[in-house]
Amino acid sequence: MCEVPLLTRVVASSVSVAIRAGDVIRNIVTEGADLKIVHKGVNDLQTQADRSSQQCIVVSLQRQFPKITIIGEEQLGLADAVNESHIVTESDLEVLEKASVLPDELKLVDDEDICIWVDPLDATTEFVQGIFDHVTILVGIAVRGKAVAGVVAQPFYSYTAGPNASVGRIIWAIVGLGLFGAVPERPPPDQRVITATRSRMSPAALRTINACEPTKILQVGGAGHKVLLLIDGKAHAYISASSACSKWDTCAPEAVLHAVGGKLTNINGTSYQYHPGVERKNRSGTLATAYAHEHDWYLERINSAA
Protein backbone atom coordinates (compact mmCIF):
# COMPACT_ATOMS: atom_id res chain seq x y z
CA MET A 1 0.00 0.00 0.00
CA CYS A 2 1.37 3.43 -0.97
CA GLU A 3 2.11 5.94 1.74
CA VAL A 4 -0.56 8.62 2.14
CA PRO A 5 0.80 12.03 1.03
CA LEU A 6 1.59 14.52 3.78
CA LEU A 7 -0.95 17.08 2.57
CA THR A 8 -3.74 14.48 2.58
CA ARG A 9 -2.84 13.53 6.15
CA VAL A 10 -2.84 17.18 7.24
CA VAL A 11 -6.28 17.78 5.72
CA ALA A 12 -7.66 14.54 7.20
CA SER A 13 -6.44 15.51 10.66
CA SER A 14 -7.72 19.07 10.24
CA VAL A 15 -11.22 17.81 9.46
CA SER A 16 -11.30 15.63 12.59
CA VAL A 17 -9.89 18.45 14.69
CA ALA A 18 -12.42 20.99 13.38
CA ILE A 19 -15.28 18.63 14.19
CA ARG A 20 -13.99 18.30 17.77
CA ALA A 21 -13.53 22.07 18.06
CA GLY A 22 -17.17 22.49 17.04
CA ASP A 23 -18.18 20.16 19.87
CA VAL A 24 -16.10 22.23 22.30
CA ILE A 25 -17.77 25.49 21.22
CA ARG A 26 -21.30 24.05 21.35
CA ASN A 27 -20.68 22.57 24.79
CA ILE A 28 -19.62 25.96 26.14
CA VAL A 29 -22.92 27.40 24.90
CA THR A 30 -25.18 24.57 26.05
CA GLU A 31 -23.57 24.44 29.47
CA GLY A 32 -24.06 28.18 29.92
CA ALA A 33 -20.41 28.65 30.83
CA ASP A 34 -18.93 32.09 31.46
CA LEU A 35 -17.57 33.28 28.11
CA LYS A 36 -14.79 35.26 29.87
CA ILE A 37 -14.78 37.93 27.18
CA VAL A 38 -11.56 39.81 26.49
CA HIS A 39 -11.57 43.03 24.40
CA LYS A 40 -8.53 42.84 22.12
CA GLY A 41 -9.45 46.03 20.27
CA VAL A 42 -12.33 47.88 18.63
CA ASN A 43 -14.90 45.28 17.48
CA ASP A 44 -12.35 42.59 18.29
CA LEU A 45 -13.44 40.21 21.02
CA GLN A 46 -12.04 36.97 22.37
CA THR A 47 -14.00 34.46 24.46
CA GLN A 48 -13.33 31.23 26.30
CA ALA A 49 -14.79 29.47 23.28
CA ASP A 50 -12.14 31.06 21.01
CA ARG A 51 -9.35 30.03 23.37
CA SER A 52 -10.60 26.48 23.94
CA SER A 53 -11.22 25.92 20.23
CA GLN A 54 -7.76 27.17 19.29
CA GLN A 55 -6.09 25.00 21.90
CA CYS A 56 -8.01 21.98 20.58
CA ILE A 57 -6.95 22.67 16.99
CA VAL A 58 -3.40 23.90 17.39
CA VAL A 59 -2.22 21.46 20.06
CA SER A 60 -3.80 18.51 18.24
CA LEU A 61 -2.11 19.42 14.96
CA GLN A 62 1.21 20.31 16.60
CA ARG A 63 1.40 16.88 18.21
CA GLN A 64 0.73 15.15 14.90
CA PHE A 65 2.85 17.46 12.72
CA PRO A 66 5.53 19.01 14.95
CA LYS A 67 7.61 20.33 12.03
CA ILE A 68 4.79 22.26 10.34
CA THR A 69 4.25 25.96 11.06
CA ILE A 70 0.82 26.60 12.60
CA ILE A 71 -0.41 30.16 13.13
CA GLY A 72 -3.56 30.79 15.18
CA GLU A 73 -5.47 34.02 15.69
CA GLU A 74 -5.48 33.91 19.47
CA GLN A 75 -2.45 34.46 21.65
CA LEU A 76 -2.44 31.71 24.29
CA GLY A 77 -0.07 31.74 27.25
CA LEU A 78 2.39 28.93 27.85
CA ALA A 79 0.80 28.49 31.25
CA ASP A 80 -2.62 27.65 29.78
CA ALA A 81 -3.30 24.07 30.82
CA VAL A 82 -4.09 21.68 27.98
CA ASN A 83 -7.48 19.98 28.28
CA GLU A 84 -6.55 16.51 27.08
CA SER A 85 -10.19 15.65 26.38
CA HIS A 86 -10.07 18.25 23.59
CA ILE A 87 -7.05 16.74 21.87
CA VAL A 88 -7.65 14.73 18.69
CA THR A 89 -5.39 12.01 17.32
CA GLU A 90 -7.55 10.44 14.61
CA SER A 91 -7.89 11.38 10.94
CA ASP A 92 -10.98 11.65 8.79
CA LEU A 93 -11.40 8.51 6.68
CA GLU A 94 -13.25 10.23 3.82
CA VAL A 95 -10.25 12.48 3.24
CA LEU A 96 -7.76 9.62 3.45
CA GLU A 97 -9.75 7.69 0.84
CA LYS A 98 -9.09 10.53 -1.65
CA ALA A 99 -5.30 10.18 -1.31
CA SER A 100 -4.87 8.46 -4.67
CA VAL A 101 -6.53 11.32 -6.56
CA LEU A 102 -4.62 14.16 -4.93
CA PRO A 103 -3.24 16.48 -7.65
CA ASP A 104 0.30 15.48 -8.58
CA GLU A 105 1.77 18.88 -7.68
CA LEU A 106 0.57 18.42 -4.10
CA LYS A 107 1.88 14.90 -3.58
CA LEU A 108 5.52 15.88 -3.11
CA VAL A 109 5.19 18.39 -0.29
CA ASP A 110 7.47 18.59 2.75
CA ASP A 111 6.74 19.87 6.25
CA GLU A 112 8.58 23.14 5.65
CA ASP A 113 6.42 23.83 2.56
CA ILE A 114 3.23 23.95 4.64
CA CYS A 115 1.78 26.69 6.81
CA ILE A 116 -1.53 26.20 8.60
CA TRP A 117 -3.66 29.26 9.41
CA VAL A 118 -6.28 28.83 12.15
CA ASP A 119 -9.24 30.99 13.09
CA PRO A 120 -10.75 28.98 15.95
CA LEU A 121 -14.01 30.95 16.00
CA ASP A 122 -14.73 33.33 13.15
CA ALA A 123 -17.49 35.91 13.88
CA THR A 124 -16.84 36.20 17.61
CA THR A 125 -18.95 39.37 17.89
CA GLU A 126 -21.96 37.54 16.43
CA PHE A 127 -21.24 34.55 18.70
CA VAL A 128 -21.40 36.78 21.77
CA GLN A 129 -24.64 38.29 20.46
CA GLY A 130 -26.19 34.85 19.97
CA ILE A 131 -26.17 34.98 16.15
CA PHE A 132 -24.73 31.50 16.01
CA ASP A 133 -25.34 30.71 12.34
CA HIS A 134 -22.62 33.22 11.37
CA VAL A 135 -19.96 31.29 13.30
CA THR A 136 -17.36 29.18 11.51
CA ILE A 137 -14.12 27.42 12.40
CA LEU A 138 -11.40 27.94 9.79
CA VAL A 139 -8.33 25.79 9.14
CA GLY A 140 -6.48 26.94 6.04
CA ILE A 141 -3.55 25.03 4.58
CA ALA A 142 -1.03 26.83 2.40
CA VAL A 143 1.76 25.24 0.39
CA ARG A 144 4.68 27.49 -0.54
CA GLY A 145 2.54 30.52 0.25
CA LYS A 146 -0.54 29.52 -1.73
CA ALA A 147 -3.87 28.51 -0.17
CA VAL A 148 -4.45 24.98 -1.49
CA ALA A 149 -6.75 23.34 1.06
CA GLY A 150 -9.29 24.45 3.61
CA VAL A 151 -11.62 23.18 6.28
CA VAL A 152 -14.65 25.27 7.20
CA ALA A 153 -16.82 24.01 10.05
CA GLN A 154 -20.19 25.46 10.98
CA PRO A 155 -20.78 24.24 14.54
CA PHE A 156 -24.32 25.68 14.68
CA TYR A 157 -25.52 24.82 11.17
CA SER A 158 -29.28 23.99 11.36
CA TYR A 159 -29.34 24.77 15.10
CA THR A 160 -32.83 26.29 14.74
CA ALA A 161 -34.22 23.34 12.72
CA GLY A 162 -35.73 21.57 15.72
CA PRO A 163 -34.79 19.01 18.38
CA ASN A 164 -34.32 16.13 15.94
CA ALA A 165 -32.13 18.03 13.48
CA SER A 166 -28.48 17.18 13.00
CA VAL A 167 -26.55 20.26 14.08
CA GLY A 168 -23.26 21.24 12.47
CA ARG A 169 -21.68 21.02 9.04
CA ILE A 170 -18.10 20.33 7.99
CA ILE A 171 -16.86 21.40 4.57
CA TRP A 172 -13.41 20.68 3.22
CA ALA A 173 -11.71 21.18 -0.09
CA ILE A 174 -8.43 20.75 -1.93
CA VAL A 175 -7.80 22.87 -5.01
CA GLY A 176 -7.70 20.54 -8.00
CA LEU A 177 -9.58 17.80 -6.15
CA GLY A 178 -12.91 19.40 -5.26
CA LEU A 179 -15.29 20.38 -2.47
CA PHE A 180 -16.82 17.95 0.00
CA GLY A 181 -19.57 18.39 2.57
CA ALA A 182 -21.70 20.76 0.50
CA VAL A 183 -23.14 21.03 -2.99
CA PRO A 184 -22.45 24.42 -4.63
CA GLU A 185 -25.56 26.31 -5.69
CA ARG A 186 -25.91 28.95 -8.39
CA PRO A 187 -26.87 32.41 -7.09
CA PRO A 188 -30.01 34.04 -8.55
CA PRO A 189 -29.23 34.97 -12.20
CA ASP A 190 -31.60 37.98 -12.17
CA GLN A 191 -30.02 39.57 -9.09
CA ARG A 192 -26.65 40.77 -7.83
CA VAL A 193 -26.40 40.08 -4.11
CA ILE A 194 -23.27 41.35 -2.41
CA THR A 195 -22.39 40.27 1.11
CA ALA A 196 -20.51 42.63 3.39
CA THR A 197 -19.72 43.33 7.03
CA ARG A 198 -22.37 43.80 9.71
CA SER A 199 -20.26 46.56 11.22
CA ARG A 200 -20.93 50.16 10.31
CA MET A 201 -19.48 50.84 6.86
CA SER A 202 -17.67 54.04 5.98
CA PRO A 203 -19.05 56.15 3.09
CA ALA A 204 -16.05 55.02 0.99
CA ALA A 205 -16.73 51.34 1.69
CA LEU A 206 -20.41 51.75 0.81
CA ARG A 207 -19.47 53.64 -2.36
CA THR A 208 -17.20 50.74 -3.36
CA ILE A 209 -20.04 48.25 -2.96
CA ASN A 210 -22.61 50.43 -4.72
CA ALA A 211 -20.27 50.78 -7.70
CA CYS A 212 -20.90 47.05 -8.29
CA GLU A 213 -24.63 47.70 -8.75
CA PRO A 214 -26.04 45.39 -6.05
CA THR A 215 -29.73 44.56 -6.05
CA LYS A 216 -29.25 43.63 -2.38
CA ILE A 217 -26.52 44.04 0.24
CA LEU A 218 -26.45 41.14 2.67
CA GLN A 219 -24.66 42.23 5.86
CA VAL A 220 -23.43 39.29 7.92
CA GLY A 221 -20.57 38.41 10.25
CA GLY A 222 -17.48 36.33 9.59
CA ALA A 223 -15.33 35.95 6.48
CA GLY A 224 -15.93 32.20 6.47
CA HIS A 225 -19.69 32.67 6.60
CA LYS A 226 -19.61 35.23 3.78
CA VAL A 227 -17.69 32.90 1.47
CA LEU A 228 -20.09 30.05 2.27
CA LEU A 229 -22.94 32.33 1.16
CA LEU A 230 -21.27 32.41 -2.28
CA ILE A 231 -20.96 28.62 -2.35
CA ASP A 232 -24.53 28.12 -1.12
CA GLY A 233 -25.89 30.40 -3.85
CA LYS A 234 -27.07 33.14 -1.49
CA ALA A 235 -24.70 35.83 -2.80
CA HIS A 236 -22.68 36.63 -5.92
CA ALA A 237 -19.77 38.49 -4.33
CA TYR A 238 -18.19 39.39 -1.01
CA ILE A 239 -16.62 42.84 -0.82
CA SER A 240 -14.65 44.39 2.01
CA ALA A 241 -12.67 47.57 1.46
CA SER A 242 -11.30 47.55 5.03
CA SER A 243 -8.29 45.88 6.65
CA ALA A 244 -10.41 44.06 9.24
CA CYS A 245 -9.50 40.58 7.98
CA SER A 246 -6.27 38.67 8.55
CA LYS A 247 -4.66 35.68 6.87
CA TRP A 248 -6.40 33.22 9.22
CA ASP A 249 -9.74 34.69 8.07
CA THR A 250 -9.13 34.13 4.36
CA CYS A 251 -6.77 31.17 3.87
CA ALA A 252 -9.36 28.41 4.33
CA PRO A 253 -12.23 30.27 2.58
CA GLU A 254 -9.96 31.11 -0.36
CA ALA A 255 -8.99 27.48 -0.89
CA VAL A 256 -12.59 26.27 -0.55
CA LEU A 257 -13.86 28.91 -2.98
CA HIS A 258 -11.11 28.27 -5.54
CA ALA A 259 -11.86 24.54 -5.42
CA VAL A 260 -15.34 25.22 -6.84
CA GLY A 261 -14.35 27.77 -9.46
CA GLY A 262 -14.63 30.97 -7.47
CA LYS A 263 -11.93 33.51 -6.75
CA LEU A 264 -10.67 35.48 -3.74
CA THR A 265 -8.10 38.29 -3.90
CA ASN A 266 -7.51 41.64 -2.29
CA ILE A 267 -9.63 44.57 -3.43
CA ASN A 268 -7.08 45.36 -6.16
CA GLY A 269 -7.11 41.85 -7.62
CA THR A 270 -3.80 40.70 -6.14
CA SER A 271 -3.65 37.24 -4.59
CA TYR A 272 -2.76 37.00 -0.93
CA GLN A 273 0.31 35.06 0.15
CA TYR A 274 0.31 32.76 3.18
CA HIS A 275 3.99 32.24 3.97
CA PRO A 276 4.82 32.00 7.70
CA GLY A 277 6.61 35.35 7.62
CA VAL A 278 3.93 37.31 5.78
CA GLU A 279 2.11 40.23 7.41
CA ARG A 280 -0.90 38.89 9.30
CA LYS A 281 -3.32 41.67 8.34
CA ASN A 282 -4.99 41.81 4.92
CA ARG A 283 -4.35 45.52 4.48
CA SER A 284 -5.92 45.74 1.02
CA GLY A 285 -9.38 44.38 1.72
CA THR A 286 -11.12 41.39 0.17
CA LEU A 287 -12.97 40.65 -3.05
CA ALA A 288 -14.45 37.18 -3.45
CA THR A 289 -16.69 36.10 -6.32
CA ALA A 290 -18.71 32.94 -6.79
CA TYR A 291 -17.32 32.61 -10.32
CA ALA A 292 -13.73 33.45 -11.24
CA HIS A 293 -14.71 34.74 -14.68
CA GLU A 294 -16.80 37.49 -13.05
CA HIS A 295 -13.94 38.73 -10.87
CA ASP A 296 -12.60 41.26 -13.39
CA TRP A 297 -16.05 42.81 -13.80
CA TYR A 298 -16.13 43.64 -10.10
CA LEU A 299 -12.52 44.89 -10.14
CA GLU A 300 -13.29 47.32 -12.96
CA ARG A 301 -16.20 48.84 -11.08
CA ILE A 302 -14.33 48.97 -7.79
CA ASN A 303 -11.47 50.80 -9.50
CA SER A 304 -13.92 53.26 -11.06
CA ALA A 305 -15.16 54.18 -7.58
CA ALA A 306 -11.68 54.64 -6.10
Query: What residues are labeled active site?
Result: 50, 124
Q: From residue 78, how far is each of 59, 95, 161, 163, 213 by CA, in Å?
A: 12, 32, 40, 40, 49
206 alpha carbon, distance to own chain's centre: 24
Which of 193, 34, 173, 21 shows the shortest CA–CA distance to 103? 173
**Rounded CA gap, 259 and 280, in Å?**
23
Which of 33, 21, 41, 244 shows the shortest CA–CA distance to 135? 21
Please give the DSSP secondary-structure letter assigned to residue 87. Answer: -
The letter for the amino acid at 193 is: V
Burial of 138 (0-12, 13-18, 19+ CB in 10 A): buried
Which of 167, 119, 165 shows the shortest CA–CA distance to 139? 119
Other CB atoms within 10 Å distance of the CB of residue 43: 13
